[in-house]
Chains A and B, each alone.
Chain A
Amino acid sequence: MKRECFCKWNMSSKNREDAIAELIREFSFQKTTENLLQIALETRELAEPTIVHEGIAMPHCRSILVDDFMIIIGKSDSGIPWPEKTVNIIILFITPVKPSGPSEHMELIKHLAKTLRSGGAEKILSAESPSEAASILKFSYGGNHKDE
């Protein structure tokens, strides 16, 4: 699986809500879509903070508002409260709702679980560049969507 991901280095957000918004903005959706995706991801976080490793959060959902995989890796050197524990890396993804069901969504989670559990988590926390972070997760780096 070689999916494309964006990266947002040096995130400025100081809390979970702002961090999710900061990353979603990188996808350049219209405002209403941004808001609805924010609600979906935040609701999931309220049900259970998606901390998948010390220092790493993974907000994710499927939504009828996207028609392709939207993946972004965010990094904050100072850390973002999530909200009880601080995270430095955020792997956010939104996958489409397809008639074929959730198998592709499941494959992506499986891929990430396998990669993070086999040393990827430690590696991505010390990744020095967006392209390095993307390659650790075996994604192709699609750039820093807005800034490059």
Chain B
Amino acid sequence: MNKELEKLISLHDLDVMISDLANKDISKQEKKLGLSPDSAANELQKMRDELASTIVRKNRDLYEQLAGHYGNAVVPVVNHRCSGCFTQLPTAFFTSQDKNDLVETCPSCGRFIYWCD
């Protein structure tokens, strides 16, 4: 997989983790388990920013813009469709031999897309 795409996926998963820890119900349950969701979220935010700083500026800016607009900036392709907007992708996308070797975006919604295992 393209290294930049891997970083975008990791950034997405980190953002999910941070938002989960800020979720009142999840935070309450994590505390019941003896964990400290608030300080964990602060630490994760630092690691998130560090990771983001290693992503190519153009991709990073687009990620932030998409995440702000849709709530998620990276989505898997499922059954030849972008799972963000459910648009069927052009044939050229899924006949390509080098899926995930390039950073691709959905031609319809613009989200970053990747092919699952």
The secondary-structure label for the interface of chain A is helix
Given contacts A102-B23, A105-B26, contact A61 B17 (CB under 8 A): yes
Given contacts A29-B117, A109-B30, contact A50 B9 (CB under 8 A): no
List 20 additional A-B contacts (Cβ < 8 Å) besides A46-B47, A50-B35. Answer: A32-B100, A47-B39, A47-B44, A48-B36, A48-B39, A52-B34, A52-B35, A61-B17, A62-B13, A64-B9, A64-B76, A65-B116, A97-B16, A102-B20, A105-B20, A105-B26, A109-B33, A110-B25, A113-B29, A113-B32
Determine how close the nearest CB of chain B comes to the CB of A25; give it in whole angstroms.
Answer: 14
**Contact count A vs B, C-beta below 8 Å:** 94
Determine how close the nearest CB of chain A comes to the CB of B3; give it in whole angstroms.
Answer: 10
Instruction: Render A6-49 as a binary contact track against B, CB cut-off 8 A, 1 for contact.
Output: 00000000000000000000000110110110011001101110
> How many residues of A are counted as interface, with CB atoms below 8 angstroms from the partner's CB atoms?
35
Given contacts A30-B117, A62-B13, contact A102 B47 (CB under 8 A): no
Q: Please, which residue of chain A has its CB at the minimum distance from the CB of B24?
A: A106
Q: Please, which residue of chain A has its CB at the minimum distance from the CB of B32?
A: A113
> How many residues of B are counted as interface, with CB atoms below 8 angstroms from the partner's CB atoms?
34
